[in-house]
């Protein structure tokens, strides 16, 4: 028999005991459906992150902060004081000075070193008589490739320009994101004496809301340095953004070591910052996938039972096929194909159901708890993930069917024909 004939025969054999086959496929369906939804959850989160911050920056750009010698959540260990390391109740109070900036700027291969200031805003408004809205999230732009609804990203030459979250569009009286681009608004902040200072700024871009960026309003480097100066934050910096001339990704390990060797500094590339988020998401989806795979292994015992019963019921038939010249390898393949087909039909139906359910759940989520996160598809069943689920389950089914298939292939034809 040709392989195609074996597949057709195996598929017909599954219909001999419809109830038993249906129950086995149902067990496969449960595990495959769980696996489909968990991979869809991971794909949805990954796609959203890639769209929001996927192309963060070219390699060679590092976020450099001082090393901390304490645990921000508490530390019971007694250690000798080292003035070269930051020691505080919270590592976030550690800071860099202009001396540190100059040292980092002088490193071999460094193109530029920009202080990353810690500043705060007060409100934004469109005019003296217009309503004012809280703008505590004034943030220095640090080369993030944001998911924009309209406009462009900030450049080093920009002055008095900002990227506004789309949540401010309606309250500030703009009809849409495109209408806001190019318009001027007022940003207010307080100086060190708590006096309110207003600054006219131009909107160059409007970004979609993200759970990563939140309500942040990104401003250009010139404006942020001016605000830092009046707020007394221009002498000590939260961190520094160091850019190397060599932008090849292969050079990043050596560049990171160069930063670490220069002093008590921790250098984290922009890609590493986002990798931390994606690692957490991957860990969660992997844990959920384990649940689905455990269910599949439990279902594999159902496949073994189904095929063993089939071998017992068809002992004479197998003996006749072998007596007529069918080789052991063909007999093995016949029962192995039956196992694989059980896995295929169970996984195919599960992937189809998972796709339908994911569309419904995503649509519901986008109008409820994810309505503020434009473009976030909670569950995404991609073709690659669908093929992964079906392929994995067919492999598990094949392994489960190996024992019954071997048993059938080793039957003695004379004894099989004599069996009742």
Q: What is the CA radius of gyration of the chain?
A: 31
What are the pLDDT digits (tens) for 260-285? 999 889 888 867 766 766 777 778 77
Q: Which pLDDT value is given to residue 105?
A: 93
Which secondary structure element, helix H or strand E, spans residue 62, and what is its range?
strand 61-66
Helices (H) and strands (E) in the chain, counts: 11, 14
Q: Inform me whether the pLDDT recorded for 56 exceeds 60.
A: no
Q: Inform me whether the pLDDT recorded for 149 exceeds 50.
A: yes
CA nearest to 409, candidates 347, 344, 345, 321: 321
Q: Which range, of 34-38, 129-133, 273-277, 353-357, averages the lowest pLDDT?
A: 273-277
Considering 154-163, 286-295, 362-371, the range whose residues carry the highest mean pLDDT is: 154-163
User: Contact at 8 Å (CB) between 340 and 398?
Assistant: yes
Helix (H, G, I), strand (E, B) or coil at 137: coil
Q: Which pLDDT value is given to residue 74?
A: 45
Q: Is the pTM value of this prediction over 0.85?
A: no
Whole-number Å distance between alpha carbons of 237 and 102? 13
Structure token pair of residue 29? 């369906």
What are the pLDDT digits (tens) for 330-355? 889 888 999 999 999 999 999 999 99
Confidence of residue 87 (pLDDT cuts 50, 70, 90): very low
Q: Which pLDDT value is given to residue 361?
A: 93
Report residue 124: phi and psi, to 5°.
-125, 150
Decide which of 115 and 56 is more confident: 115
Structure token pair of residue 204? 């160059």
Q: Inform me whether the pLDDT recorded for 21 exceeds 70.
A: yes
Q: State in Å, rounded, how far the first CA of the chain is from the last one.
A: 27
Pairing of strands 123-125, 133-134: antiparallel
């Amino acid at each position: 028999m040709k392989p195609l004939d074996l597949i057709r025969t195996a598929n017909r054999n599954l219909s001999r005991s419809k109830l038993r086959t249906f129950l086995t496929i149902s067990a496969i369906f449960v595990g495959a459906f769980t696996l489909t939804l968990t991979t869809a959850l991971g794909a949805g989160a990954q796609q959203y992150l890639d769209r929001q911050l996927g192309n963060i920056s070219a390699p060679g750009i590092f976020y450099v902060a001082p090393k901390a010698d304490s645990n921000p959540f508490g530390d019971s260990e007694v250690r000798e004081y080292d003035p070269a390391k930051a020691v505080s109740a919270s590592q976030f109070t550690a800071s860099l000075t202009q001396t540190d900036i100059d040292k980092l700027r002088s490193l071999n291969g460094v193109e530029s070193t920009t202080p990353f200031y810690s500043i705060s805003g007060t409100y934004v408004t469109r005019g003296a008589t217009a309503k004012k809205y809280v703008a505590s999230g004034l943030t220095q732009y640090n080369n993030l490739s944001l998911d924009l609804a309209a406009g462009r990203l900030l450049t080093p030459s920009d002055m008095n320009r900002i990227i506004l979250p789309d949540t401010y569009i309606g309250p500030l009286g703009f009809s849409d994101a495109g209408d806001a681009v190019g318009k001027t608004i007022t940003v207010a902040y307080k100086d060190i004496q708590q006096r309110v200072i207003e600054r006219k700024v131009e909107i160059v871009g409007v970004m979609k809301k993200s759970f990563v960026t939140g309500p942040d309003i990104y401003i250009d480097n010139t404006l942020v340095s001016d605000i830092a100066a009046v707020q007394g934050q221009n002498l000590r910096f939260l961190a520094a953004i160091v850019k190397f001339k060599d932008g090849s990704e292969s050079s990043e390990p050596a560049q990171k070591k160069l930063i670490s060797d220069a002093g008590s500094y921790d250098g984290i590339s922009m890609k590493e910052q986002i990798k931390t988020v994606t690692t957490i998401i991957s860990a969660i989806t992997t844990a959920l996938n384990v649940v689905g795979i455990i269910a599949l292994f439990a279902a594999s015992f159902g496949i073994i039972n189904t095929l063993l019963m089939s071998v017992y019921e068809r002992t004479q038939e197998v003996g006749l096929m072998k007596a007529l010249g069918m080789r052991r390898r063909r007999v093995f393949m016949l029962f192995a194909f039956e196992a694989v087909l059980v896995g295929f039909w169970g996984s195919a139906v599960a992937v189809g159901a998972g796709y339908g359910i994911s569309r419904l759940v995503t649509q519901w989520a986008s109008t409820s708890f994810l309505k503020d996160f434009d473009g976030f598809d909670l569950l995404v069943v991609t073709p690659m993930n669908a093929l992964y689920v079906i392929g994995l389950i067919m492999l598990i089914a094949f392994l489960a069917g190996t024992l019954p298939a071997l048993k059938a292939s080793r039957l003695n034809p004379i004894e099989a024909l004599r069996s009742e």
